Amino acid sequence: MRLWRVLALAVVALGSGVPCVHAQSEVTVVPAVALSTMYDDNLFSAPSGVADILTTIRPSVETRIASPRLNLQSLAYFDMQKSANTTALNTFDARRHAMVDVRGQASPMLSLGMAARYDRADTPGELNLDTGVMLARQEAHRLQLTPMLSYRTNARTTVFTRYDWTSERLEGWPGGDLQALHAGVTREVTPRTTLNTRYLGRLFTGEIDAHSHSVLAGWAREMSPGTNLSVEAGPRI
């Protein structure tokens, strides 16, 4: 009987010790379902608007992993859509979205990262992240991959580089790719003020090929814990 008590106490002690071992790591998974209703007075972005009420059901899964050397965030969802009057808009797959952002600390000085994003929608204006220009309803795809690296040479200086590859496709139109390379150096002048200089090269491929090169210098200031002010300027060829 005493042996069983000893074993039971040992199991309890080990069980109570497990959270301490993994206390520095956190894993969160959040499944969810959202229901929304929207009124649109011009569904097809046409000169003569057609109004309707759209009901959307959105299942989603969000994941967060945090540890001293690894941070991961991801989100995935798709939309099921029901129109009150226009049956052509009833669909099981009105839009899709998936993103993942991974940051790792390879060493006290070296940080690595990778971000990826995929979007598909029947309303291309939702994917026009820069201008938000509305377009007629048609299938659009957007894929973006962004590897990144930063190396802290000393307590105040960091060398960084980032590469962006973005591919966009619109039904009925030729697609295009954008490649962008960022490389630069940041210097902490004070705990709240930073100076930086970087090179930005961009290559556009598709129906029209073009490229540009920029050299930028910048200044950034943390005005408060929630407010940052930054300025960049430089020539572009």
Confidence of residue 40 (pLDDT cuts 50, 70, 90): confident
Question: Which two three-digit tokens encode residue 99?
Answer: 């993103």
pLDDT cut 90: percent of the chain above it: 62
CA–CA separation, 180 and 216 (whole Å): 14
The mean pLDDT value for 59-82 works out to: 95
Predicted pLDDT at 7: 37
- Non-local (6+) Cβ contacts of 118 within 8 A are 96, 97, 98, 99, 141, 142, 143, 144
Residue 58 has pLDDT above 50, yes or no: yes
**Is residue 5 pLDDT above 50, yes or no?**
no
pLDDT for 132 beyond 80: no
Q: Of all helices (H) and strands (E), which one includes residue 13?
A: helix 2-21
The Cα-based distances of 163 to 19, 30, 104, 203, 209 in angstroms read 38, 30, 17, 11, 19
pLDDT tops 70 at residue 156 = yes
Contact in structure between 60 and 77 (CB atoms under 8 Å): yes
What DSSP assignment string belongs to 101-116? EEEEESSSSEEEEEEE
Instruction: Measure the CA–CA gap between 32 and 184, rounded to whole angstroms.
Output: 40
User: What pLDDT is stored for residue 98 in this prediction?
Assistant: 97
Mean pLDDT (the chain) is 86
Identify the pLDDT of residue 200. Answer: 96
Model pLDDT, residue 44:
75
**Taking Cα atoms as reference points, which of 213, 110, 200 lies closest to residue 164?**
200
Segment 107-135 mean pLDDT: 82
What is the rounded CA–CA span in Å between residue 147 and residue 197?
A: 20
Strands 110-121 and 52-66, bridge-based pairing: unpaired
pLDDT at 134: 64
pLDDT value at residue 170: 83
Sequence-ordered strand ranges (E) for the chain: 26-40, 52-66, 70-83, 91-105, 110-121, 140-152, 157-170, 173-190, 193-205, 210-224, 227-233
